[in-house]
Amino acid sequence: MLFDVNVIIKLKGGMLSPEAKAISHALSSLGMKSEYLNTAKFFEIGIEAENADAAKAKAAEMCERLLANPVIHSYTIEVKKA
Amino acid sequence: MLFDVNVIIKLKGGMLSPEAKAISHALSSLGMKSEYLNTAKFFEIGIEAENADAAKAKAAEMCERLLANPVIHSYTIEVKKA
């Protein structure tokens, strides 16, 4: 069964993000204020698995082994039927 | 009122994504197959506005003027109460 898995990889709380700071500053320069701004990576992955739990486990393995750096990133996984 | 706005910026359909292709290939080399893989940028933005519609309009302006390139990107905005 094919599952459509959304993975969001964020910096862990307390990590400095120069990218977010730069974007926030640029928005402000254009007259658009934001109270806070965080950036993250978003992946849509099609995973073939027996059930939703197995798809989630496969996505978690992808995060641990390649997509995320467990030292600085946290990730959330959302599984939907494709 | 402070709103927590999630913005997802994707490449429009049909745009080639070398990044996604490279990640998909790397996952495959590690023995983790994906049927498809798309990458996107994810922003969590705190926006002060009178109501949810106004917050959404502000986020859309941010996308149009800075965050996205309307030629190659599409974006989705989700507004939640902070």
- The DSSP output letter for B39 is E
Distance of residue B68 Cα from the nearest chain A Cα, in angstroms: 12
Tell me, what CATH number does B50's domain have?
A: 3.30.1280.10
What confidence score (pLDDT) does residue A81 get?
Answer: 85
- Counting residues of chain A whose pLDDT is more than 70, the rounded percentage is 100
Question: Environment class of residue B37 by beta-carbon count within 10 Å: exposed (0-12), middle (13-18) or buried (19+)?
Answer: buried
The range of the structural domain enclosing residue A25 comes to: 2-81
| Number of domains, chain A | 1
What confidence score (pLDDT) does residue B4 get?
Answer: 97
pLDDT for A13-69, tens place per residue?
Answer: 999 999 999 999 999 999 999 999 999 999 999 999 999 999 999 999 999 999 999
Q: How far is CA A45 from CA A9, A79, B39, in A?
A: 13, 10, 9
Helices (H), A1-82: 18-29, 52-62
* Other Cβ atoms closer than 10 A to B22: 12
* Stretches in chain B below the pLDDT threshold 70: none
Please report the ipTM that was assigned to this predicted complex: 0.92
Distance CA A58, CA B61 (A): 37
CB within 8 Å: B43 and A38: yes
* Contact call for residues A60 and A17 (beta carbons, < 8 A): no
Judged against a pLDDT cut of 90, whether residue A82 lies above it is answered with: no
Asked if the C-beta of B11 comes within 8 angstroms of chain A's C-beta atoms, the answer is no
What residues in B contact A66, CB-CB < 8 Å?
23, 26-27, 30, 32
pLDDT for B62-72, tens place per residue?
Answer: 999 999 999 99
